[in-house]
Amino acid sequence: MGEEVKKLLWRLFIVFLVFIVGLSFFFYRTGLYKLEFESKGDIPEKTEENVINFQEAFYHIGEEYWVEGEIDHVFVSENNNYFLNFCENYRECPFSAVIFADQKNDFGDIGKWEGSKIYIYGEIETYEKRPQIIINQPDQIKFN
C-alpha cells in the first residue's frame, strides 16, 4: 500500500474514533446510554403492596410499581410509537404508557388492547410533567 493510502486510512480511523467518542458522550449526557431492553432484574409478581391505580401514579414518580387501569384507547404516533391512554383526553389524564416503535413487534396486536384492564410494571417516570411507564418487554404487562 502506498503512503497516501495509509495516511487516508489513518485519517478515516481518527474521524471514526472521534465520531464514536462524540456519539457516546451524547448518549451519556441524554441518558440514552441504557439499552432499551435492559432488565432491572426480575419483575415481581403483583401483590397488594406493589399495585397502584393509574390515578395514584403521580405520587410514586421514581418508584417501581404495577399500575392498574383500563385502556381507553391506543394512539399510534407519526413515529409509530404506541401510547396506551387511560383517559379519553390524554392531556388531562394522570398516567400513560408507551411502547416504542422498535419494540412493538414483541407485543402482538396492541390495538386490540383498547377497553382491557391492564397492569403495567416499571419505574414511573414523567413525560411532559405527567407520569408514564416505558414498556420495554412483554413481561411488564399483565391483563386481568
pLDDT at 28: 56
pLDDT at 6: 86
**All residues at 6 or more sequence positions from 24 whose CB lies less than 8 Å from its CB, including other chains:** 33
Please name which of 102, 105, 30, 110 lies closest in space to residue 73, comparing C-alpha atoms. Answer: 110
Kindly report whether the global pTM for this prediction surpasses the value 0.75. no
Average pLDDT, the chain: 88
CA 106 – CA 103 distance, rounded (Å): 6
* DSSP3 helix / strand / coil % (the chain, rounded to 5): 40, 30, 35
pLDDT tens, residue by residue, 48-104: 999 999 999 999 999 999 999 999 999 999 999 999 999 999 889 999 999 999 999
**All residues at 6 or more sequence positions from 138 whose CB lies less than 8 Å from its CB, including other chains:** 106, 107
Percent of the chain scoring above 90 in pLDDT: 67
Name the pLDDT band for 8 (thresholds 50, 70, 90). confident
In the numeric block, the cell 495509509 is attached to 6
> Hey, what CATH class is 48-143 in?
mainly beta
Q: Is the pLDDT of residue 36 over 50?
A: no
Residue ranges of E strands in the chain: 51-53, 64-70, 73-76, 82-85, 96-99, 117-123, 125-127, 130-134, 141-143
